[in-house]
Structure 1
Amino acid sequence: MGTRDDSDEAYVVGLCDQVLGETAVAQHRFDWLVGDPGSGGRRARLPVDAYWPGHQLVVEYRELQHDQPTPHFDKPDRLTISGVHRGEQRALYDARRDAEIPAHGLRLVVLRPADLDADARGRLRRNQKADLSVLTKILARGSDECRVTDAFRT
């Protein structure tokens, strides 16, 4: 199994760094973006995939398990602190990010494998030239395309 640095998420964030000319703060946690309370009432801060403070931008790279059932990731036989299985909790927390990030004055861009050069299983081919071209358009400040609500693209 590869490391986080070898992941598709790290690849996408690295390309975004190139486009933006700024290095992201990976797995950043905002004080106002929190999960459901645990048994002791504590609420963990939820990470975002990447945050560029100079651009007031958050990018979330949502692999296939964010949009379709995946038993390996969902763990349907185990409940989370939220009282639901991991797949349902992921959807709840994605929706929380989608609402809270823009509400706090930050731009949120949600990327999926289908946005880039990927195979049918959602694995990126890592075609840097093609992927950089797409990301340059998506990340352009004047881009009016809604990158949050288009969650059901395949």
Structure 2
Amino acid sequence: MERSLKAEDKIAQINKVVQAYFDNNSNIDWIPAKQIMPELVKEGVFAKDQKKGLPLRKVLRDLDQKNVLDTIPLLHVERTDKAIYWYFVKEGAKFPENTAISTVSKKEKAKTIRENTDEFYIINLCDEILKQKASRKHTFSWLFGDLHKKGKTRTLLPLAAFYEDLNLVIEFADNKNKTEAQQVKLEALTASGVTRGVQIEKYNKRRKDMLAKKAINLSVIDYSLFETNNKNRLVRSKTEDVIVLKKILKKYL
């Protein structure tokens, strides 16, 4: 149940939760305000979420009307003729100019999310170390998944990165520390009649076997070799991470 908080106490709690979010997600510089709602509900600031962040938006609108938005230091506001968009920005970080989530296409949103992943970060470092740019999510015409539900088509299996000049594919080892939500997804059945988890193992083996058959080098990178935070995300200490990667890729340097 939502605690009966005075207005100033609620603001203090919001600030505390937002700061904790950025402390625990050091690789993230900004987020839409609605993304913090699960944490606010968890901490009892709000009883539940409604309409993707409505309880929080009500508080922010009230502060805006009273001209005291500065009581939430990490809040960033984008205004258009038709709407107001609320964001939280980590202290010391800058919000991208002219960025409003509602005006960004789904393709651009997906690109932004993908570029913020640990996988993308590691491959960026590999590009620097190998002095080549990888083909990301690379596919080969001879590497594909099982037949789809109708039994007529199959999807090509993507590979994390392919360096053509080095004849090298980079993949990532399966992360064993799954969240409850991730574990539930792995237990869901696929069109092949096996669970998603079993299918992933099957496809990983198929990648390995087919790459070996085609005499293509494969290097599998294990996230556990790098420093992570309590959310199991990479801390992204570039100097140390480069040292680890150079050991992994020394054969190709």
User: Which bracket does the TM-score occupy, shorter chain normalised?
Assistant: 0.7 to 0.9
CA 1:126–1:68 in structure 2 vs 1: closer, same or farther (change >3 Å)? closer
**Cα distance per residue 1:87-121 (max 9 Å; x no partner):** 11111111111211122111111112112222465
Residue in 1 that maps onto 2:171:
60
Matched, 1:72 2:178: no
Rg: which structure is higher? 2
Q: Is the 8 A contact 2:187 2:197 kept in 1?
A: no
CA 1:118–1:102 in structure 2 vs 1: closer, same or farther (change >3 Å)? farther
Higher relative contact order (CA 8 A, sep 6+): 1
CA 1:72–1:40 in structure 2 vs 1: closer, same or farther (change >3 Å)? same
Q: Is the 8 A contact 1:73 1:87 kept in 2?
A: no
Residue in 2 that maps onto 1:84:
194
- State the shift of 1:81 in Å: 2.1
Residue in 1 that maps onto 2:209:
99
Q: Is the 8 A contact 2:130 2:252 kept in 1?
A: no
Matched, 1:47 2:175: no
Paired residue secondary structure (1:22): coil
Distance in 2 separating the partners of 1:47 and 1:53: 15
Q: Which protein is richer in helix relative to its size?
A: 2
Q: Which residue of 220, 225, 234 maps to 1:124?
A: 234
Distance in 2 separating the partners of 1:97 and 1:6: 25
Q: Which residue of 132, 139, 147 maps to 1:29?
A: 139
Structure 2, unaligned runs of 5 or more: 1-34, 36-111
- State the shift of 1:76 in Å: 5.0
Q: Which residue of 103, 110, 116 maps to 2:220?
A: 110
112-121 or 129-138, larger mean C-alpha shift: 112-121
Distance in 1 separating the partners of 2:162 and 2:222: 17
Distance in 2 separating the partners of 1:69 and 1:134: 23
Give 2:113's aligned amino acid: T
* Coordinate RMSD, CA, aligned: 2.2
Q: Which consecutive aligned stretches of 4+ in structure 1 deviate over 4 angstroms post-superposition?
A: 68-71
Distance in 1 separating the partners of 2:216 and 2:230: 32
The number of equivalent residue pairs is 141
Q: TM-score, normalised by structure 1?
A: 0.81
Give 2:239's aligned amino acid: K
**Cα distance per residue 1:33-88 (max 9 Å; x no partner):** 11011223312110001111011111112351xx4665523525631122112111
Distance in 1 separating the partners of 2:187 and 2:224: 29
Give 1:44's aligned amino acid: T
Q: Is the 8 A contact 2:171 2:220 kept in 1?
A: yes
